[in-house]
Structures are given as C-alpha cells and as structure tokens.
Chain A
Amino acid sequence: MIKHRTLLALLAFVVVAGLLAGCSKQNDEVVTLRLVAWGNQREEQSMRSLIAEFEKQHPNIKVDLQITPHARIFDKLMISTAGGRPPDVSRVSSLWFHPCAAKGLFEDLRPYASNDKSFDLEDFYPQAIEGWGKYRGKLYCLPTDIDVYAMYYNKELFDKAGIPYPDWSWDWNTYLEAAKKLTVTDAEGKRIQWGTSTDQFWQSYVKQNGWSVISDDLKYCTLDEPAAYEAIQWLSDLINKHHVAPSSAETLEISSLKLFEAGKIGMYISGSWAAELQFAKDGISFDYDVAPLPKGKKRATFIGGAGYAVLRRSNHKKEAWELVKWLTGREYQRRAAIESQIIPSRRSVAESGAYLKLNKPPKNRKVFLDMIQYGWTDPPVSVSPEMRELMNAEIALATLGKKPAKDACEKVKPVIDQLLRHQE
C-alpha cells in the first residue's frame, strides 16, 4: 500500500514538473525549426553559414538543419507526414514536387506572400514558379534555384578535329555530324573517344521533336505516336547505330561524366550544376565551354530545380515562412550563386553580376539563362515520380539497344494510361 502511495506521488510530481516545463518553454518563445535539405559538403557549409545569419536576424528562431540525400527526401517527407512528425521546412525538388503538393503536404504560401510587403513574387522566373511552385492554382513552394541542361564541349577536341564550336545555329544534323567527327577508334576498332553523351533526360528529345509524353489534359500517354518514338529511336541510334555516344556498357564504370573529364567526350550534355559540382571539384585540365542544346523541330531543354516549402503540419508556420523567405531571398541567392555557381530563381539576381560575371568557366554561362525560356518541366500530375520511373524503366531498354523505341513506347503507353487512370 505504502509503495503504491509513493508511486502515485512520484507520478504526480512527474506530471506537474512536465506541465511546468511545458509552460516555461512557451514563455521563452524560442522556436526551433526543423529544416530538411540536401547538398554536398560545400553546399552544406555555405547553407550553415547563411542560416547562422538568419538566426542572428531572428533571435527567436533556431534552425535544426538535417542534411539528407536528395533521392531520399521525398520518401522522408511522405513517411514522416504520415507518421505525424514532418519537418517544418523542406527543400523540395521539382522532380517530386507535384505528388507532395497533391497529397496536401504543403502549406499554401499565397496568403503569406500577399500579406508580406517585403516580398515580390514577380521577381522569380515564371517557368520555375509554374514548374515547381504552383499546383492547381495554389502556391506551395518558392523556387530557389534552377538547373538548366545545356551542352558542355571540350574546346581542344573541337580544335583538333577542326570543327567550329557549337552555337545557336546547330540542329540535330549538325550535332550528329560533329559527333561523328569527334569519335575516334583505335587500331583494334575499340572506341577511345566519343563525340557526345546521352545523359540528359530522354524526354528532351521528344520535346525537341515537337511532341510530349502525355496529353495536354494529363489523362493519357502519348508516347505511342511517331513523333515520340522516332525521337527516342534517334537517341538510341546515337549510341547503338552511329556509336557516337558511349553505350552503358562503355560508361557504367567510369560514367560519361568521368569520360568527359578525362577528355574523351567532345560534347557532354548535362545540367548547369555540373561545372561547379563536378568539373571544378574533380579538376578538369582542358579548356571547355557551354553551348545551347541543338534544336530538332523545336528547341527544348529540361529545366528543374529546387525550392523551399512549409509543411502544412508544422506548428510554427509563421516562423517557417520567414525562413523560406530568407532561403529564397536575394542575399541568399546572391551568395549561393557566387559560392556554388547555382542559377538563381530570381531574375534580378541571375541577371546581375553575381552569376553572370563569375570569374570561373564556363565563360559562356549566359547560355543557361537564355535556355530557360525553352525549358520544359514535369507535367503537373500527382503520380509524376511513378510515371517517370515506369517510363524510364522501359525506355532504358530502348536506349540500351535491347528493343526498338517503337516497341518500348507501345509497351509503356498502356502502363502509363493505367497509372493516370488510377491516380488517387
């Protein structure tokens, strides 16, 4: 009996103490925001120093930055929201913005934006806002940077082959001809240098051919049309017929990126991030620059990027908005552009000296900004990552040369139709 009484007293004490602790916390008013983001070590450093500045300006807010690999933040947001403990703010990728928005993970930022006089939405590139900011009319995410795909080229290889450097006049044919000239085989017939690589999203070729992967009403897949599969076949032919791009068997180990860095690829198609995150890091020894993607029937390139969103289940949305504003603000973007060569999502910063006048290669970096207007982004469907995975899996068979593009497209079409039909 006595034991019970002691236990009860103890319990009461713990409860009271807990309540008191809870109260005292409220009085302090220091809010800790959990921020999830991805980034390499360098980006992390720069992020941390910028966040420290934010904390200095907002003494009542602390930021707990959790660096998570890019590919895993999507899963993490989904599962932690279902589990009831999502972060307050998350860096969001254009690759999986739509499903998160569709599930209602994010807070609509429009009211915050319109009530905040210091904030100007018009400064952002509309392509970015439309691509991974808005979903069904609501503003769920503020873009912070833009990745643009363009063509890096090795000037030395061009000079050696005696070909003029690529420019806005190039189309698929000029590109293929140049690629052929840049491909070198050794005495045994083994290729030791390739004209180009095929790292960009295959969808870009479809877009360049004036077509799209799903219908405008977002209800069915349009890959079974000639304009789609001919473009993919053209891509496959670069590797498997003309052999001007390394096949997956030839690149897998070293990856075409490493081949380009080793001076074995003439034209390397990749994102704007490659210059800083890869070439500079790995130390590239030759002179290179960047050119627009050659046009097919149309000019098109993939643009994607990242942004920041406030989680709807956050308990500190007001503070979270302040953080998002800071993370997408001018000062932050200017510093990020200088330190990491990131293309800012704000036009005022992008077109200022901060990005364009960086004293680093590639010299012709204005190409990236000029390509933005030709950018395509993921279609705004809630199943976009699943759709991309399903399509990539099948199209990969075509680019591996395992089957004609037409067959792959015809096989994948009903699968995508199914998926779009059963969207939740």
Chain B
Amino acid sequence: MEGYLCIAPWLIGFALLTLGPMIFSFIISLTQWDLINSPKFVGLDNYRIIFTDDFRFRQSLKVTALYAAMSVPLGMIGSLCVAMLLNLNMRGMRVFRSIFYLPAILPGVAVTMLWMWILRPQDTGVLNHILGFFGVSPKPWLSDPAWALPSFVIMSLWGIGGGMIIYLSGLQSVPTQLYEAAEIDGAGSWRKFTTITLPMISPTIFFNLVMGIIGSFQVFTASYIMTPNGGPGYSTLFYVLYLYQKAFKYLQMGYASALAWILFAVVLALTLIVFKTSAKWVYYESEVKQ
C-alpha cells in the first residue's frame, strides 16, 4: 500500500496528464474542432486527408526524415570523434571538454537567434566570411531551398556536446586490459578501434542513436524561430512545426491530433526497428560473462 502512495504523484499525473489526454486526443483526432465552436465528428476523415491529399504532410515528413538522416549520423560521428580525442588523457582536457559541451546546455531560443545572425547570407554573415577566407563562395543559407535544411544541420552539430559526454563515459569504461592484450597480438590503432572500442561502446552508440532519432523528429524551437512559415519552398517545414501551425495557428485541433498520432507511430516504428536490429550489433558485457 505504501508503495502505491509513494508513486501516487506519478500515477495521478500519468492518469490526468498522459493517459486521459491520450484517449481524449484520439477522440479529437476523429473530429473537426477549433476549441471555439462545437466539434464535428468526421470519423477517419482527418487521417484519410493526411495520407491521400495533404502536400504539406508529405513535405514535412520528408524534411524531418532528411534532417534526421543528415544530423543523426553526422552528430554521432562528430561527437564520437571528439570524445575519442578527449579520451586521450592529456593536459587541458577539462577545458576542451567544457568548450565542446557548453553549447548543448544553452537556451534554444538564444542559440537559434545567434545562429540566425551567424547564417546571414552574402558577405555580411560571419560564416560566409570565414568560408570566404578559405576561398568558398558565400552561401545563401536560410533563404535558399537547397541550403536551408543543411543550415539546420550545421546548427545542430554545434550541440553535439551532450552525446559527446555520453561517449566519453562509455569510452572510459572500456577495460584497458583489452587494449593491452590486443597490442601484444600486434593490433594497430584502427584494428583496436574496430575490434575493441566499437563493440565495447555499442550500448552507448545505441543509446545515442535512439535519442538522436527521437530528438530529430521533434525539432520545433529552431524551426519556429528561424522559419516560422516553413522556409523557402517549404524546405524546412519540420513535422512538429506543421503540427503546431495546424493546431495553434489555424485551430484545426482534430487534424493536428491526427498528425500527432501519426508522429507517435513513426517514432515508435523507428525505435522498434533500431531495437530489433540492436541484437545484432549491440554488445552487452553481461552476455559474455554468462
């Protein structure tokens, strides 16, 4: 009994703020409702329109998937590389670690605004200025359909610090004996990396992958601030941005709820796929011990 009392805060919250609203949300998704006038039941019409007759749904799904496909692998590789360097255990690592980690904790609004300023097109943007130093011609960044999404990816790479710290802890828990044994066998750095490091930190990679996918499907703040209308040619119409527009700008709450359920299904499916494949490549120490 006491156990239930202890978890009561969460249980009540779960019932009132999660389970109840979930059921409510599904019912809303079967209606046309603006929260002002009375709702109209339309059955599965919202879902039907979304799947068969909504250009922006397809576009936003494409944009989000593209973004995930670029930012997740790049972010994972980038943060792993930085973590490997920081794992070398030399003087001054604490300072470097702070520098790489800091951007990840700052307010999204402030960071986004800073990047809007950095990503100014033409030669007054500082990024173009720096690139110009290396002979790269100025890019239009957020104002061009081809460059807008990559701009978001670049910005996301500035925030790889969180993943980096997790890798770092993973790297440090790899037993040194394994490396020593490999050295005796005459293994080079690359071989050590592929045969020891990667398998040993695979649970960390797995964790970062799942978090990365979930995170990239829920991008909102940056897109809402930089391109509130979805950017040139809808090239940065992120899924949650579209959902937000439908819900709170156009007050199509039924439609927005249907979009939310589809988002849930997509994220769930992707996570399950990653989980399924993880048996093949994620290596848990405990399995070996048995």
Contact = CB atoms under 8 A, between A and B. Distances in A.
Contacts of A397: 145, 232-233
Interface residues of B, number: 32
Which interface class (under 10, 10 to 19, 20 to 34, 35 or more) fits A?
20 to 34
B229 A389 contact: yes
Interface string A385-424: 0100110011011001010000000000011001001101
Given A75-B248, A78-B251, A249-B122, A396 B140 contact: no
B122 A421 contact: no
Nearest to B232: A396
Interface string A40-83: 00000000000000000000000000000001001100110110
B248 A253 contact: no
A253 B122 CA distance: 6
Given A252-B122, A393-B230, A81 B36 contact: yes
A104 B35 CA distance: 12
Interface string B211-238: 0000000000000000011101110000
Given A389-B229, A418-B55, A82 B49 contact: no
A104 B54 contact: no
A103 interface: yes
B251 A422 contact: no
B249 A75 contact: yes
Contact of A424 (B34, B124, B140, B228): B34
Contacts of A133: none
Contacts of B56: 390
Interface in A245-260: 248-249, 252-254
A104 B36 contact: yes
Contacts of A383: 250
B121 interface: yes
A393 B233 contact: yes
Contacts of A415: 55
Contacts of B253: 82
A390 B54 CA distance: 12
Given A82-B36, A418-B55, A393 B232 contact: yes
Nearest to A105: B36
Given A75-B249, A418-B54, A248 B49 contact: no
A99 interface: yes
Contacts of B232: 393, 396-397, 400
A99 B34 CA distance: 12
B34 A82 contact: yes
Interface string A82-106: 1000000000000000010001110
B29 interface: no
Interface string B239-254: 0000000001111110
B53 to A, nearest CB: 5
B36 A103 contact: yes
Nearest to A392: B229
Instruction: Identify the interface centre among B144, B232, B250: most chain A CB within 10 Å of its CB.
Output: B250
Contacts of B140: 248-249, 252
B251 A103 contact: yes
Contacts of A82: 34-36, 248, 251, 253
A253 B120 contact: yes
Contacts of A389: 229-230
Nearest to A86: B36
B58 to A, nearest CB: 10
A248 B233 contact: no
A424 B252 contact: yes
A254 B123 CA distance: 10
B25 interface: no
Nearest to A389: B229
Contacts of B55: 390, 414-415, 418
B143 A248 contact: yes
Nearest to A252: B121
Nearest to A416: B55
A415 B145 CA distance: 18
B123 A253 contact: yes
B32 interface: yes
Nearest to A74: B249
20 contacts: A71-B228, A81-B36, A82-B36, A82-B248, A82-B253, A248-B140, A248-B144, A249-B121, A249-B140, A252-B121, A252-B140, A254-B122, A389-B229, A390-B55, A393-B233, A396-B232, A400-B144, A400-B232, A402-B145, A424-B32
9 shortest interchain CB distances as A-B pairs: A253-B122, A82-B35, A415-B55, A252-B121, A79-B248, A253-B124, A393-B234, A418-B53, A75-B249
Given A400-B145, A415-B55, 11 more contacts: A74-B249, A79-B251, A82-B251, A99-B250, A103-B251, A249-B122, A390-B55, A390-B56, A394-B233, A397-B232, A402-B145
